[in-house]
């Protein structure tokens, strides 16, 4: 198997295919200590491992070339909506890789781990402050796991009051992880409709609130990138019915420093540290989904809890009402260290300007693109703008074709066909870290592509033509991924 483009042009063979028997990439220094006795023969391999044998430069060039086959934030504008692909300062990466952190053993006793415990303790406090929540757990390792944790906390709370509430209400525009987390938590997801402008349908909500409802889960800003204008009324309705109000805060880029979800009436929130607080997360990389709760829910949070007593930080598993562990050790600490550094670098003022600039950039794109799209939303958006491609393209052209053509022009494509309630959706999230020149060039490129779609649709239908691989069969790539290399398999060289 070889990574090759659609027309079989070889892009980069595997290291195994470049291997030459007995070639060495390095030499061992002379042994300067007495040679120890050899390992017992029953512990030794009978055959040398089947590893590639290469010179150092072959390896360096191989990985450098591979790293350049991809789009990345370091090389391209990456307006992927609902994902906050913003630039994350390298300083935070650097701090997280310091051996003092990277080599910390998770089983080190508390008295030898005061530094990291202090960092985690403060991070909990700051995230609680940003979210308007009284207690935070850093344990969950993804947004989806944060959702699961939050729902388990809500379930435990209702059970502790002898109530059997098994329904979780979720708007139809929600991220797919919401209903999935509810199902994993053993509860039942029920959909609440959205109105034509993408907000929650209050009448539908009223008809579904009952003594069976445990939680209403809402994404703010909602999945159309809009702020829910009736949020306080919704909070009141939910609380009057005895249910809890959960915020999916995966995308906090428009609220951080400006609005505290706790002040809006939310009881539980998860945030995606890897979207808002400085961890690059392409390719499904590691993340963290801390969960914040109001005081009356704090006892249900997962263990271990970090506490500070007499100047000493410690981890405690003693928490009688806890839902238990959701993760090994102390969570994804590498990610949490990045978040800690990011918050310290920004300060309160910096945090507010993140939101202000993210909102400004999204609205700049919205207004600049408005003349091109007949169904462009007229109300201001928050950190992202959802555009319907309906009626904007030449005959037979789809949003998918526009997205592929953008790749030819050196832009990563926005999220497409999400949320499902918007026909031919393009969900554009420029983020606060892009310059006006980049946003202008992006909008100008969209204009060019829409012109092409009327003049010569084949330019879009055949796109991309300039990328290492041409248009992929997306269904086959997802359903029948062929990722296995078989030794001796000949490649189409």
Residue 358 as a binder of ligand PLP (CB under 6 A): the answer is: no
φ/ψ of residue 310, rounded to 5: 50, 40
Phi-psi region of 319 (alpha: psi -120 to 50; beta: other; left: phi over 0): beta
Buried b / exposed e along 96-130 (16+ C-beta atoms within 10 A): beeeebeebeeeeeeeebeebbebbbbbbebbbeb
Determine the interface stretch with ligand PLP among 110-118, 203-211, 243-251, 483-491 (rule: CB under 6 A).
243-251
Residue 177 as a binder of ligand PLP (CB under 6 A): the answer is: yes
Determine the interface stretch with ligand PLP among 52-60, 142-150, 189-197, 446-454 (rule: CB under 6 A).
142-150
- Contact with ligand PLP (CB under 6 A): which of 173, 222, 272, 330? 272
Q: Give the number of residues in contact with ligand PLP, rule: CB under 6 A.
A: 13
Residue 287 as a binder of ligand PLP (CB under 6 A): the answer is: yes
Determine the interface stretch with ligand PLP among 111-119, 138-146, 319-327, 469-477 (rule: CB under 6 A).
138-146
- Contact with ligand PLP (CB under 6 A): which of 158, 175, 208, 404? 175
Listed residue (118, 168, 173) closest to 306, CA to CA: 118
Give me the least distance between CB of 77 and ligand PLP, in Å please.
Answer: 19
Give me the least distance between CB of 283 and ligand PLP, in Å please.
Answer: 12
Determine the interface stretch with ligand PLP among 136-144, 185-193, 359-367, 404-412 (rule: CB under 6 A).
136-144
Give me the least distance between CB of 289 and ligand PLP, in Å please.
Answer: 6
- Distance, in Å, from the CA atom of 354 to the CA atom of 259, rounded to the nearest integer, reads 12
- Contact with ligand PLP (CB under 6 A): which of 12, 82, 130, 216? 82
- Contact with ligand PLP (CB under 6 A): which of 228, 248, 429, 432? 248
- Distance, in Å, from the CA atom of 177 to the CA atom of 82, rounded to the nearest integer, reads 12
Which residue of this chain has its Cβ atom nearest to ligand PLP in the complex? 143
- Contact with ligand PLP (CB under 6 A): which of 128, 143, 261, 377? 143
- Residues at the contact surface with ligand PLP, assessed by CB under 6 A: 82, 142-144, 175, 177, 219, 248, 250-251, 272, 287, 289
């Amino acid at each position: 198997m070889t990574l090759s483009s659609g027309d079989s042009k070889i892009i980069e063979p595997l290291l195994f295919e470049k291997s030459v028997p007995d070639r060495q990439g390095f030499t061992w220094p002379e042994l300067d200590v007495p040679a120890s006795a050899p390992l017992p023969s029953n512990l030794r391999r009978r055959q040398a491992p089947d590893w590639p044998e290469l010179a150092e430069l072959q390896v360096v060039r191989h990985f450098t070339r591979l790293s350049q086959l991809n789009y990345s934030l370091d090389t391209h504008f990456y307006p992927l909506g609902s994902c906050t692909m913003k630039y994350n300062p390298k300083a935070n990466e650097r701090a997280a890789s310091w051996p003092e952190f990277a080599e910390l053993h998770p089983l080190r006793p508390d008295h030898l781990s005061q530094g990291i415990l202090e960092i985690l303790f403060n991070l909990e406090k700051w995230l609680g402050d940003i979210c308007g929540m009284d207690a935070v757990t850093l344990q969950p390792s993804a947004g989806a796991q944060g959702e699961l944790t939050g729902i388990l906390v809500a379930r435990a709370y209702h059970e502790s009051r002898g109530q059997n509430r098994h329904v979780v209400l979720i708007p139809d525009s929600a991220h797919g992880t919401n209903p999935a987390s509810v199902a994993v938590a053993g509860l039942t997801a029920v959909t609440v409709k959205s109105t034509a402008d993408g907000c929650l349908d209050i009448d539908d909500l009223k008809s579904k609130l009952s003594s069976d409802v445990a939680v209403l889960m809402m994404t703010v800003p909602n999945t159309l990138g809009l702020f829910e204008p009736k949020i306080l009324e919704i909070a009141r309705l939910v609380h009057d019915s005895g249910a809890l109000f959960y915020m999916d805060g995966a995308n906090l880029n428009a609220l951080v420093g400006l609005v505290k979800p706790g002040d809006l009436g939310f009881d539980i929130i998860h945030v995606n540290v890897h979207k808002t607080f400085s961890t690059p997360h392409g390719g499904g990389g590691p993340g963290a989904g801390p969960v914040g709760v109001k005081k009356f829910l704090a006892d249900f949070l997962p263990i271990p809890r970090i506490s500070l007593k007499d100047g000493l930080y410690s981890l405690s598993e003693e928490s009688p009402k806890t839902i238990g562990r959701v993760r090994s050790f102390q969570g994804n600490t590498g990610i949490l260290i990045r978040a800690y550094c990011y918050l310290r670098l920004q300060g309160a003022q910096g945090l507010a300007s993140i939101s202000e600039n993210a909102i400004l950039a999204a609205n700049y794109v919205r207004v600049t693109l408005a003349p091109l799209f007949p169904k462009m939303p007229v109300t201001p958006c928050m950190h992202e703008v959802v555009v319907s491609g309906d009626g904007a393209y030449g005959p037979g052209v789809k949003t998918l074709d526009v997205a592929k053509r953008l790749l030819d022009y050196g832009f990563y494509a926005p999220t497409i066909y999400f949320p499902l309630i918007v026909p031919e959706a393009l969900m554009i999230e420029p983020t606060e870290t892009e310059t006006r020149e980049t946003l202008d060039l992006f909008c100008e490129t969209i204009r060019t592509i829409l012109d092409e779609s009327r003049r010569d649709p084949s330019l879009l239908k055949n796109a991309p033509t300039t990328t290492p691989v041409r248009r992929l069969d997306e269904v086959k790539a997802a359903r029948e991924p062929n990722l296995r290399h078989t030794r001796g398999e000949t490649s189409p060289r």
